[in-house]
Structure 1
């Protein structure tokens, strides 16, 4: 068989069930293999959409999302989703064709040639490799799998010259499980070395790790006003975060990537209110703060002008040693998997919960201070919440209604809430909603986007319609780039190029074969969403946000 065919069969050995992309003349052999291996393929209408779909698929399933992309423009079109996956620690694999071996780097201008495809992708993720021969592919796939599934998940890219993809090989590749184990061990060794060079950064295993866990446990047992801040690295430790919060009586503040970590209404759930005064006062006044899986990124407090300030002792837990002391140093740093380390901490905590934990949570939730614009969003978001089936997966784009929703609404659990928190790109919601729908076919899906940002990827409505299942897109129509418009106003600058939109998004939706309608009031929105989220069809609801 040909190499591309064998590579597809190899991916199936790793458990790959779905692949996203747009087939091209250079990837035919891959697609031949996908068909034989029983791997489902999902054609996007633009490679950027394919990357976003694979990203959401990975978030919802916990398994790597895979894209097959053609040489040159196909890869370049998909760099934004790969950069997003790097920011949010999502396991995403790009298998790409690249220029013929004898023309690589020659700048001779063959079809789809770029100067250095591997280097271009390395600009957004450190794991970018070239397979110069078919024989290298089993090892490279093993290295990619280790990068995506051990330590901090990171996206990976393997480029295969088109002559290698079509070269004959003896038969299917054998998975390099031993190489994968070696790569995982190497990853752990690198992390251990980095931790050893930082005085406070000690792994959870061995004498130093045990000492660090004991020190953290002692601090938490003595804390009178403990608090927890949890980020995306805590998503898989939902039960452990809840257990330690309840044992300590510690309010829990989450970043966007950890939305839903505690269920709505839990007496210790502050929610994603980190940018606001109440949550920041809570953290500043805490005598001990346990930070789990968060980078303290500026995107977590964007647009408010408030930085997180801590006056008490900081305990940091992260799988990435680089995050243990930056941007703020920890008194005790714990390197490791959140579930494992938290389980060790829970076993050491022997105390009564802080009695005022629920009261501090209520106070933090009360001191938000919605702006006039956000206050105008709240009736619309109440309508959204009233219409949602309990298990709906909601995907948020970068738009003003979604910004408010991010802080105002409380998802039931982490996979119910997805957004491009790290990179903050526009246009991701619709294709990510498609990926979520493929990942969980029986689950209702709602995407929320702006009229401006939705135009980045609106062609993926065709992909959604092709699925033949429920998917609802709510477009907040504020007649242009509303947030950018307001930023011009805040800067006392004349607005330039902010008043751009489409004539009629609902009409456009109908052109793609979707249902399209306009609503002018929150009550009309509630009724429209209630029907759309329970109807086996793609629906675009355009809400008048002006």
Structure 2
């Protein structure tokens, strides 16, 4: 049955598992909206294309499935580039579909015209392409979905000219069989096991690219110690005696890594935002397991790179090791690990007053299955180190690109994906104002979403950086609105607890409310 191409694309996405689209309709992309309801896809109306992109990101992180955003030509695309850049940094499968002008070479002065929309999106995406015919659109969408499933997931952008969107088209072909991630060979697996069991002090580093796997079994079988990156928190349970936590950014974690005679890094870039130094600090060899060949480039002599899925690699290790040896005795001193963690926690407490106490209070009442989305704010910076997560991939943060305004719209996307399960946003007073208009979307959807707002009435992290650099603090204080009144103006709830006990009560009440709740937090909570 022929339909306009825009409608056929919506039907195609539905057939491939897409059930929600985030976006904003406009005069240029109305044909994309013709088929959404007919296809059985829900649409979430954002208040800004940046919000739509972050919602798609939050949805993708919550589900592991692609998040899809529909935007208009020109300014709609540009508004969405920030969330696409964030998705690229954090390996999130986001597909942006946009309308485009048919001719920007011979004509000038058209609505939403820009010189090269495709190239603009390519600067922050894995790829950006134009489809001028139905067959091309279908192939490119399937290419994006296939690459999301079989390689490192990064955002893709597809633009379709307005005339093509409205022209009749045949349906998309039936979905093809799913593709799988690359897997390590048996030889690579057994060589790695031999190296790990032969090491005197093996150390594992688990990153956000580890999507499951027998982590605890492998640590027990090998006697190894472990770190997680911020994105890998929750992969190792907090009660593991040889786990150093997510303190890799502590400067003297390098001295701990130097004690290892073998490091096994799984699903992590070990990037600047993981370490905040040039190198991990180890002197011995490293085994790296990752699905991205680029991460495996530049290994040192003696290192081993394995292209494969880290979770499957861990599962295979857990099966293969018992065939060789009994559980190995611990290779590290658990008491020393505990003392080191306590020292690092105390450092965070001294550097960021109030954050540790507030984090402890919130963690004590936070549901185990809560999914948290945080913004670039001092509270999140400290909490990411001291807040042990009971489950992996339940705290999402804008790591590499580091954009402000992420938390609220991303949490909306996560809450849409997880209806009936607890979702939380954590934002700072300055960054919250980047995307606070999405409160309207959250109220409209009736989301029981606590929004924990850390209000220090300034750009606190920047002020501290200026002081450390011996620069007189400048342009770090901004006049804030009355956040509680603003929340109520949107139809949300608002709370300003006076102490930690009241904060806990406010959080629990917010999970039961029929609309989002802005909960203003200050350092006075612990005074």
Q: Which category of TM-score, normalised to the shorter sequence, fits these structures?
A: over 0.9
Q: Does 1:415 align with 2:393?
A: yes
State the Cα distance separating 1:21 from its structure 2 match: 0.6
Equivalent pair of 2:375/2:404 in contact (CA under 8 Å): yes
CA distance in 2, matches of 1:534, 1:280: 44
Equivalent pair of 2:218/2:314 in contact (CA under 8 Å): yes
SS at match of 1:334: strand
Q: Does 1:496 align with 2:474?
A: yes
| Residues 14, 109 of structure 1: alpha-carbon distance in 2 compared, 3 angstrom cutoff | same
Counterparts of 1:28-427 in structure 2 under 5 Å? 28-99=30-101, 101=102, 103-106=103-106, 108-169=108-169, 171-175=170-174, 177=176, 204-205=184-185, 210-234=186-210, 236-237=211-212, 239-276=213-250, 279-302=253-276, 307-326=279-298, 331-349=303-321, 350-351=324-325, 352-357=327-332, 358-359=334-335, 361-368=337-344, 369-370=347-348, 372-427=350-405
Equivalent pair of 1:60/1:439 in contact (CA under 8 Å): yes
Which whole-Å deviations, capped at 9, do the CAs of 1:500-535 have from their partners, x for residues lacking one? 142311111111001112234333322322322333
CA distance in 2, matches of 1:3, 1:413: 42
CA distance in 1, matches of 2:252, 2:511: 34
CA distance in 2, matches of 1:71, 1:32: 17
State the Cα distance separating 1:345 from its structure 2 match: 3.3
Which whole-Å deviations, capped at 9, do the CAs of 1:132-166 have from their partners, x for residues lacking one? 12231111111111221112112111100111101
CA distance in 2, matches of 1:231, 1:365: 19
Moved more, 35-44 or 307-316: 307-316
| Residues 467, 296 of structure 1: alpha-carbon distance in 2 compared, 3 angstrom cutoff | same
| Structure 1 gap segments, 5+ residues each | 189-202
Equivalent pair of 1:391/1:444 in contact (CA under 8 Å): yes
| Residues 382, 360 of structure 1: alpha-carbon distance in 2 compared, 3 angstrom cutoff | same
Which whole-Å deviations, capped at 9, do the CAs of 1:362-418 have from their partners, x for residues lacking one? 244233133523243222112211231222111111111111111111111123211
SS at match of 1:484: helix
CA distance in 2, matches of 1:29, 1:68: 11
Which whole-Å deviations, capped at 9, do the CAs of 1:471-492 have from their partners, x for residues lacking one? 0101111112111111111111
SS at match of 2:214: helix
Q: Does 1:544 align with 2:522?
A: yes
State the Cα distance separating 1:104 from its structure 2 match: 2.9
Alignment RMSD: 2.1
Q: Does 1:532 align with 2:507?
A: no
Partner of residue 421 from structure 2, selected from 427, 433, 443:
443
CA distance in 2, matches of 1:438, 1:22: 17
Equivalent pair of 2:20/2:44 in contact (CA under 8 Å): yes
Q: Does 1:15 align with 2:17?
A: yes
| Residues 470, 330 of structure 1: alpha-carbon distance in 2 compared, 3 angstrom cutoff | farther
Moved more, 353-362 or 225-234: 353-362
Which whole-Å deviations, capped at 9, do the CAs of 1:178-218 have from their partners, x for residues lacking one? 8x86xx8xx97xxxxxxxxxxxxxx723xxxx443332221
Equivalent pair of 1:97/1:161 in contact (CA under 8 Å): yes
Equivalent pair of 2:442/2:515 in contact (CA under 8 Å): no
| Structure 2 gap segments, 5+ residues each | none
CA distance in 1, matches of 2:98, 2:451: 30
Normalising by structure 1, we get a TM-score of: 0.90
Equivalent pair of 1:296/1:327 in contact (CA under 8 Å): no
| Residues 405, 7 of structure 1: alpha-carbon distance in 2 compared, 3 angstrom cutoff | same
CA distance in 2, matches of 1:451, 1:359: 40
State the Cα distance separating 1:448 from its structure 2 match: 0.9
CA distance in 2, matches of 1:244, 1:309: 23
Moved more, 510-519 or 58-67: 510-519
| Residues 387, 32 of structure 1: alpha-carbon distance in 2 compared, 3 angstrom cutoff | same
Equivalent pair of 2:223/2:331 in contact (CA under 8 Å): yes
SS at match of 1:265: coil
Equivalent pair of 2:354/2:523 in contact (CA under 8 Å): no
Equivalent pair of 2:368/2:391 in contact (CA under 8 Å): no
CA distance in 2, matches of 1:163, 1:294: 43
CA distance in 2, matches of 1:98, 1:121: 12
Equivalent pair of 1:396/1:449 in contact (CA under 8 Å): yes
CA distance in 2, matches of 1:176, 1:531: 44
Normalising by structure 2, we get a TM-score of: 0.93
Equivalent pair of 2:68/2:95 in contact (CA under 8 Å): yes
Name the counterpart of 1:199. none
Equivalent pair of 2:484/2:494 in contact (CA under 8 Å): yes
State the Cα distance separating 1:118 from its structure 2 match: 0.7
CA distance in 1, matches of 2:336, 2:128: 47
State the Cα distance separating 1:65 from its structure 2 match: 0.5
| Residues 330, 72 of structure 1: alpha-carbon distance in 2 compared, 3 angstrom cutoff | farther
| Residues 386, 211 of structure 1: alpha-carbon distance in 2 compared, 3 angstrom cutoff | closer
Moved more, 362-371 or 5-14: 362-371
CA distance in 1, matches of 2:301, 2:248: 19
CA distance in 2, matches of 1:529, 1:256: 24
CA distance in 1, matches of 2:189, 2:497: 54
Q: Does 1:430 align with 2:432?
A: no
